[in-house]
Amino acid sequence: MSKPPAFPALAQFVAATSGRNMTKVAYVAVACGVAMMVLVTVDPAYEAAHHYVDALLWGCLAFFVFEWVVRFRHALSNGCGSAYAWSGRGLVDAGSAIAVPLAMMLGINHRSAWLLGVFWMFKVVPGIPGLRQLRRVLVVESGPLLSVFLFFLMVLFMASVAEFYLEHDVQPAGFGSVPAALWWAVATLTTTGYGDVVPITPLGRLIAAIVMICGLGVFGLWTGILATGFAAETRRDNFLKTWESVSTVPFFAALGPAAIADVTQMLRTIDLPARTTIIRKGQVGDCMYFIASGEVEVDLPGKKVTLGDGAFFGEMALLGNNLRSANITTTQVSKLLVLDLVDFRLLMARHPDLAATIDSEAKRRELENE
């Protein structure tokens, strides 16, 4: 029989922090620690309140050490201590806990040692979904990104060699060697152009103009690749979420995987809070809705009808008169699948059985409302 944990609070903390995301306390500790690290570099502020700054810094460090120890102990108890220690999360936790004390033990000035607290910011990375998506985009688009980077390096080096040859006699200080010319090439190719080193020969200026144009092209390519990758990842995530929602709607239960995939590409999901008006009577209908989860209320003359999970509504305006015949409002938090008019017609053409079901339901409701 297993013994109950000696420290229930510690066990709860382990359960809360052994997941992928950080706790709110850890976010506060990171924000406080980085803010105090910045104050260490401001002499007047640090001299006026160094006791409080040091106390907060040591408190944040103690929290990160405690967090690291607890997570490592929890990993060991699950037989994955080595995996945690060498994972990205484990290395960040370890660095956050030992970097500053190690620097102090090596004799580095304590104010300089606290600057290593900047690495605490890496602890927020696992909790940001957008950064995980960026990592996937970088992996998927690594080939095109690397190709553009190689082109960037080629233009950078060739421009440096060309400007060294054209300018080193007239500007030995700025273009006295190829490494010296690299500074000008980087500043120009990135379209920054500090102006501290500028070609003065006609051919040198022509090369500079070509380099500027190449810089715009290179960063335009990078932007396009990343934007396309993010759009693809967003569509992928939306497809998976919509698939999960579609598969829970009984109306689509009889469809095979290929048909569900076809339907999923047509539908979009919306999440609505309670007491949100979805349809107003008299509006022109341009879409219909399926209820993946939640509940809506249909306000009909003389009565109100409640529709729950798996039901659909709004189809009558798409099949006959295009004006909405009733007000429909959510009664609780609901997730709806929206099918636009154009996609509705495509779906009806591709899946006659669904068309027949929707048509029969629309006729039944029309009879009830008479």
Query: Are 274 and 300 contained in the same domain?
Result: yes
Category of 346 on φ-ψ map: left (φ > 0), alpha (ψ -120 to 50) or beta: alpha
Last residue of a domain, one of 127, 158, 180: 127
pLDDT tens-digit profile, the chain (370 residues): 444 444 445 445 444 444 444 567 888 888 999 999 899 999 888 888 888 999 999 999 999 999 888 888 888 888 888 888 888 888 888 888 999 999 999 989 888 999 998 888 888 877 776 777 788 888 888 999 999 999 999 999 999 999 999 988 888 888 888 988 888 888 888 877 666 788 888 998 899 889 889 888 999 999 999 999 888 887 787 777 777 777 767 667 666 677 777 777 788 888 889 889 898 888 888 888 888 888 999 888 778 888 888 788 887 777 766 778 788 899 999 888 888 888 878 877 877 777 777 777 777 766 766 6
101 and 175 both lie in a single domain: no
CATH number at residue 272: 2.60.120.10
| In a shared domain, residues 67 and 108 | yes
* Inside any domain, residue 244: no
Residue ending a domain, among 232, 267, 298, is 232
In a domain, 47, yes or no: yes
* Torsional sign, CA 343, 345, 346, 352: positive
Question: Does residue 306 share a domain with residue 279?
Answer: yes
In a domain, 325, yes or no: yes
Q: Is 193 left (phi over 0), alpha (psi -120 to 50) or beta?
A: left
Does 224 lie in the same domain as 272? no
For residues 75 and 34, give the distance between their C-alpha atoms in angstroms, rounded to a whole number. Answer: 27
Whether residue 361 is found in the same domain as residue 261? yes
Tell me if 135 is assigned to some domain: no
Integer-rounded Cα radius of gyration of the chain: 31
Which secondary-structure segment (H or E) carries 298?
strand 296-300
Structural domain harbouring 61: 8-127
Task: Check which CATH number belongs to the domain holding 155 and give it.
Answer: 1.10.287.70
Residue 94 within any structural domain of the chain: yes
Question: What is the pLDDT, as a whole number, of residue 369?
Answer: 61
- Which pTM value belongs to this model? 0.59
Instruction: Look at the chain and report how many structural domains it folds into.
Output: 3
* DSSP conformation class of 23: P
**Same domain (yes/no): 337, 304:** yes
Among candidates 136, 110, 135, 122, which has minimal Cα distance to 53?
110
Residue 194 has a pLDDT of: 65
Tokens found for residue 363:
């006729």
| Same domain as 122, residue 26 | yes
What pLDDT is recorded for position 250?
A: 67
Whether 259 and 345 share a structural domain: yes
Q: What is the pLDDT of residue 253?
A: 65
35 belongs to a structural domain: yes
In a domain, 134, yes or no: no
Q: Across the strands, what pairs with 323?
A: 284
What is the rounded CA–CA span in Å between residue 153 and residue 157?
6
Alpha carbon 218 to its chain's center = 24
Same domain? 348 vs 324: yes
Residue 196 lies in a domain: yes
